[in-house]
Structure 1
Amino acid sequence: MLSSWTIEETLDDFKMTGELAPRSKQVHVLVLVSDGTSLIAKVDSARTHSESRRNRWRELNDIFDKNKKAKTNNEDGDVRWSEVKSVFVYESYIQKRKPIPADKLKFLCDYLAYASKAMNGYDEALKEATCCHFIAPVLIMLCGLFDDVKLEVEESVDGSNVHANGVFEFVLTRGKTKICVMAAKKNDFEQGKAKALVGCEVVADREGVFVVYSIVTDFIEWHLYRSGENSILRDSCTLAVSSNTLDIKSLRDMCEMIYGALSGHEEESKKEKA
């Protein structure tokens, strides 16, 4: 996807400022001589992502290409966390929370209680076959707090500059805000974060966004990753549950973490770009 830029920005790129700047009421023609490649694409690529992120892509591509030649991927074709952990060095942070209306939270809590009763307790949420049936109501409730949020299911994104694709159980989209949700299959959070963080880079690559969020969860544990241009950050919440009881305070904290990310992301992206 190509970004647009102003005439002033283009003149600045080609050093046509100061004495070389066009005078008032004069007509100037800027002639670009092509060397066989797209100059627009080069300028756009330089503007879109930081050198830090593009270096991240180069390191990932080396891993992907090496694995493809050696056919050393794991059973489902994904890279292992041990292979990419040196690329995805992250730090802990606290995502700003946004309060959830009490009636919305109660509705969600009641629904999950019905689901738990129907499926023989919250222990069932940890099973791969039923996990998404507990995750989906949380995301649907969060969608209901906005007029402009879309929930997509089983989304796949192919990389352009990144030699991989991203596959997610769910994707929350609000404008340029994306929160990509990955179920931690077999409670394997390391494999889940490898897939999620690779997927974030694919989304940043294809859509030209500066920050992409991902969540890795088995419904009980929720790990939120913020993949930016120059850093990767992580926050997390754990639901307090017994077989038949879910603590509403821990549910509130988890929901408000995601609600905060959806609410404040546009401003965060502007800061990241700056």
Structure 2
Amino acid sequence: MRDFLGFGQGIQILVEEIVNGKRVHAKGQFQFVLQCGMKRNCVVEAKYYDMNRGVAQILVGCEVLADVEDLDTAYGIVTTYTDWMYFKRENDKILRCRATLDLDKDDVPTLQSLQTIAEIIHTMLWTPWDAEQLTSEAFT
């Protein structure tokens, strides 16, 4: 576990976390969990660039985490490095946001796209998360 500080609150990064459900008979597997206070953002790498499989893994994992920790809201991120999908799982709905990491001709991320991805993660960690806070076209 790594500890980082930001805006007066510590962020813990948990690596290779597995959560076994109590009432939900499933297992959540995450490459990383970003923890800031009581908020947890679970991160899954979409293996072989298969976003559908990654989305299924993160949504099941969010259900398991909500079950085990009795949460009304759980947050998840799926990435292939260039494609990013962010989820907020609530009791009655799931919000989704997408972003793309643009690369220049040397395969270096552009500053603007990197800032967008970082801003979304920041928003997920430190503020109530809704469509108005992020790019409006990103949410569905």
Give secondary structure in 1 for the equivalent of 2:17.
strand
Q: 1:258 aligns with which of 121, 124, 129?
A: 121
Q: 1:244 aligns with which of 84, 94, 107?
A: 107
1:185–1:218: 8 Å Cα contact kept in structure 2?
yes
Q: 2:6 aligns with which of 137, 145, 150?
A: 145
Question: Are residues 157 and 177 of structure 1, via their aligned partners in 2, closer, same or farther at CA, if it must alter by over 3 Å?
Answer: same
Aligned counterpart, 1:10? none
State the TM-score, normalized to the length of structure 2: 0.84
Give secondary structure in 2 for the equivalent of 1:148.
strand
Paired letter, 2:10? D
Give secondary structure in 1 for the equivalent of 2:31.
strand
* 1:153-192: CA deviation from partner (whole Å, max 9, x where unpaired): 0000000000101000000111221100000100000000
Distance 2:61 2:123 in 1: 21
Aligned counterpart, 1:227? 89
Aligned counterpart, 1:159? 21
Distance 1:240 1:192 in 2: 20
Q: CA deviation at 1:218?
A: 1.0
1:166–1:199: 8 Å Cα contact kept in structure 2?
yes
Is the strand fraction higher in 1 or 2? Answer: 2
Give secondary structure in 1 for the equivalent of 2:55.
helix
Aligned counterpart, 1:185? 47
Give secondary structure in 2 for the equivalent of 1:195.
helix
Aligned counterpart, 1:195? 57
**Which structure 1 residue ranges, 4+ long, deviate > 6 Å from structure 2?**
none
Q: CA deviation at 1:264?
A: 1.1
1:174–1:262: 8 Å Cα contact kept in structure 2?
yes
Distance 1:226 1:203 in 2: 12
What is the aligned length?
Answer: 126
Give secondary structure in 1 for the equivalent of 2:18.
strand
Paired letter, 1:257? I
Distance 2:5 2:100 in 1: 23
* 1:29-86: CA deviation from partner (whole Å, max 9, x where unpaired): xxxxxxxxxxxxxxxxxxxxxxxxxxxxxxxxxxxxxxxxxxxxxxxxxxxxxxxxxx
Where does structure 1 lack aligned partners over 5 or more consecutive residues?
1-139, 269-274
Paired letter, 2:34? L
* 1:3-22: CA deviation from partner (whole Å, max 9, x where unpaired): xxxxxxxxxxxxxxxxxxxx
1:176–1:209: 8 Å Cα contact kept in structure 2?
no
Larger-Rg structure: 1
Aligned counterpart, 1:217? 79
* 1:90-113: CA deviation from partner (whole Å, max 9, x where unpaired): xxxxxxxxxxxxxxxxxxxxxxxx
1:211–1:227: 8 Å Cα contact kept in structure 2?
yes
Give secondary structure in 2 for the equivalent of 1:257.
helix
What's the % identity of the aligned pairs? 37
Task: Summarize the alignment of residues 1-274 of structure 1 with structure 2, pairs less than 5 Å apart.
Answer: 143-146=4-7, 147-242=9-104, 243-265=106-128
Distance 2:35 2:52 in 1: 25
Where does structure 2 lack aligned partners over 5 or more consecutive residues?
131-140
